[in-house]
Structures are given as structure tokens and as C-alpha cells.
Amino acid sequence: MKWANGRVLILDDDATIGRGISLLAEHLEVDAISVCHPNDFFATIDQWNPTHIILDLVMPEMDGVEVLQLLAGNGCVSRIAISSSMGQRILNATKQSAAEHGLDVVCVLPKPLTMKSLKEFLFSPIDLSVATVAQNRSETVITKVDLLDAIARREFCLVFQPKIHCKTRDLVGFEVLVRWEHPSKGLIMPDHFIPLSERLGLIGLITDQIVEQALNWYARTAAVHGLSVSINVSAKTLGDIDFADWLDDMCQKAGIPNDVIVLEVTETAAVVNQLSALDMFTRLRLKGFQVSIDDFGIGNSSLAMLARLPFSEIKVDKSFAMKAGSNEECRAIIRSTVSLGHGLNLTVVAEGVEDEATLNFLSEIGCELAQGYHIARPMPGGSILDWMAQRDCACTKCEIEKDSTMLRMSGEIAIPAP
């Protein structure tokens, strides 16, 4: 039976190879067209709307990277495979760059192509998370008025993602992540409104609301366990000389010690504003707050900057831990960052930990802390206590609580009436 909706378009400057892949695809009962020239390729996309594209990387008129850039510019939604006889490193780098342009690059297909790898590409399940993000990107148009309304109506809410100790697996704290509960557009993720808020100069007002909510939640839920709370701070906030005093005041009012607060700033932000960052970090550190360099490894920081600014923590960008299981280069980057961090007396956190093997690897190389979907997804503040109970937290405070619960259950302590 023919797969009614499958259409694969192949671009390869070698007509024999293109025809060969077409034949394999047709054998799998998927319609196929192969072309040798980029002009024919883009014309066929317009007329034929392929579901899948197989792209050769090395071509005389236009290389595969240029083709991918044009595809991204045209908002291509086809599923893409890159085929080439180049080394795996170059193929992976191309795949990564295409994914960062928002293209759905499913895989790289080393040449010569086999029936098995072609079949896997053509029939691989659709990654819904990519589709949802792509949908969000095109549908969520946010204006300054929307943001001002959201600030006035206090539509921002927080979710919390646990951070654990790699070796002992003890819970050590939470990172606060913001969400926007829009009355008609639904839940909007921070990547869709934080950069715009920064450009419009509204991030300060949003950060104020986030900090307020985070401190309230902390005082009610996490303070008793002596956990830390990490708050993301934008580059713009670093330029605000009053921020340190304001935060200090907020913590005092909430009865929260400053040293449980970790302020996460992205590597790029710290680089762009080095001068104000130095003043700001120094003031924050003098007041006892911790400062973490976020997304480390993907920005432009220099070692000199890292030594110069008084950070207390390095947070290795999630892209490295997410690929650590399959990619030796990512493991090497994490290993080096851990040793760099320790050399500078900093705590190292790896985020994006998605499996047990990665957590074990981090523990073996001496990375202190971990965060990621394998440990827990970000969750609403109201779910944290249940999550902690389910996880059977073994920290001393919880052990005391567990003991008293056991005593209550065994009747040694009277159970209060509901």
C-alpha cells in the first residue's frame, strides 16, 4: 500500500546517487523526486510541498549549509536528513546549526545510504515538542501592550525545578522559572517573552514580581529544609545599581538569609556588561548572595572574565549534559568545566540531565550538582511538598519529619483531628 501523504525530495549534485535514493524510497512506497540543482530544488518545494527532504552537504553551486539557511528563512517545516560522506563531527555540527535555525533535522545519513537508515528517517515518529514550539513561534505574537497588561494583572507565575547533589542525590535547592498565564493565548514560555521584555525595558518590573513570588514561596515551603533558591536575572538588571539593596531589603522582610539565594546570570550577559557586572556582583556577594554563571560553554566568556568576576557557581549549559550519553566531545567539555570550576573554587552544576547514566558520569567526575528532567521537570510550587515526599527525601530535616510521621502512624503521637 502506498503511503498517501509521504513525499521525499532529494537534492544531490550527483544524479546517479539522487536517482538511487529515489528508487529506494519508492521501494518503501513513498513518492520521491530527485534534483541536482538548488534552483530546481526550491522550485519543487514550492510546487510539491515535500514532507521529507534529503540534502547533500557538498555541492558545487551552493553548499548544504547555505541551502539550510534558505530553508530556515522560508519557514520550511519538512523533516530533513543531511546526507554526506563528510566526517561525523562536521555532520553533527551541521545538524546542530540547522536545529538552531528552527529546522526539523531528524538525522544525518552517512553515504552510501542504506535501505534501513532511509526507512528509519522516512518513518520516524514526529517529535511533538518541536512541533509545539514551532507552532508557538508562529502563533504567539506579543506586543508591548500585552506585556504591560500582564504586569498590571500579575499574570506571571512560577514553576520550580529541583537541583540535587550528584553523589548523595540529596535535594539541595530549586531553580525558579517563570511562565506567563495569558488569559486567551494560554501558557507562554519565557523564551517567547523575556528577550522582548528586555528590549522594551520591562524586564525590571517582571523581575520584581518574580522575586516577590519566589521569596514568598520559599518562606512558606523550602526555608525549613535549608534549601537554596536560584533566580534568573537578566543582563538589564545587572545595570540597575539599586537591585542589590532592593533584594537585600526583600529578603530581610521575608526573614530569608541572603546566602540561600543564587542569582543566575547568563554567560553572554556577564560578558556584555562586564563593567557593571563587576560592580553589581561584588555588591551582591558582599551582601552574602550567591552568583552563578548560567549557560556556561555556549557564550563568549573568557577565562580572564571568569576569574575576574566573583561568581560562586558555574552552570554548564544544558546542551552538553543532554548529549553526554552519546557524544564524547560533550563529556570532554563537562570534564574540563568541572576542573576549571574547581580550580577557581566554584561549585559546578550540570543542567539538562536526562538519564541516570549522565548523573553517574557527573558524579564520577566530581561535578557537585545536577538538574534536569531525569531528576524532575519544573513543577508548580504547590506540588513541591508532594514531590519531596514521593521522592522519599533522605535529608536530615525530612528524616526527622518522616520519623514523626511514622510515630503518628504507629499511634505513638496523637494524630490531630482533620
Can you name the residues that pair with 369 across neighbouring β-strands? 165, 349
Which residue in the block uniquely carries the three cell numbers 521537570? 377
**Residue 372 binds: one of Ca ion, ligand C2E, none (C-beta under 5 to 8 A by kind):** ligand C2E
Indicate the residue among 59 and 214 with the shorter CB distance to ligand C2E.
214
- Determine, following the binding rule CB under 5 A, whether residue 294 of this chain makes contact with Ca ion: yes
Task: State whether residue 292 is helix, strand or coil.
Answer: strand
Report the residue from 295, 313, 350, 381 that binds Ca ion according to the rule CB under 5 A: 295
CA angle 20, 26, 28 (to 5 degrees): 110
Supply the minimum distance, in Å, between the C-beta of residue 207 and ligand C2E: 6
Supply the minimum distance, in Å, between the C-beta of residue 94 and ligand C2E: 21
Which residue in the block uniquely carries the three cell numbers 549534485? 13
Question: What is the C-alpha separation between 128 and 112, in angstroms, rounded?
Answer: 30
Q: How many helices (H) and strands (E) does the chain have?
A: 19, 15
Question: What is the C-alpha separation between 294 and 405, in angstroms, rounded?
Answer: 39
Report the residue from 318, 323, 350, 381 that binds ligand C2E according to the rule CB under 6 A: 318
The span of 23-31, 154-162, 292-300, 363-371 binding Ca ion (CB under 5 A) equals 292-300
The span of 82-90, 288-296, 388-396, 398-406 binding Ca ion (CB under 5 A) equals 288-296
Q: In the range 379-418, which residues lie near ligand C2E by CB under 6 A? A: none
- Determine, following the binding rule CB under 5 A, whether residue 104 of this chain makes contact with Ca ion: no
Q: Are 251 and 280 in contact (CB under 8 A)?
A: no
Element housing 362 (H / E)? helix 356-364
Question: What is the C-alpha separation between 207 and 302, in angstroms, rounded?
Answer: 27
Say how many residues touch ligand C2E, by CB under 6 A. 24
Q: In the range 319-348, which residues lie near ligand C2E by CB under 6 A? A: 322
Q: Are 13 and 56 in contact (CB under 8 A)?
A: yes
**Residue 341 binds: one of ligand C2E, Ca ion, none (C-beta under 5 to 8 A by kind):** none
- Determine, following the binding rule CB under 5 A, whether residue 313 of this chain makes contact with Ca ion: no
Residues in contact with ligand C2E by CB under 6 A are 161, 176-178, 189-191, 194, 210, 232, 234, 264, 294-295, 318, 322, 351-354, 371-373, 378
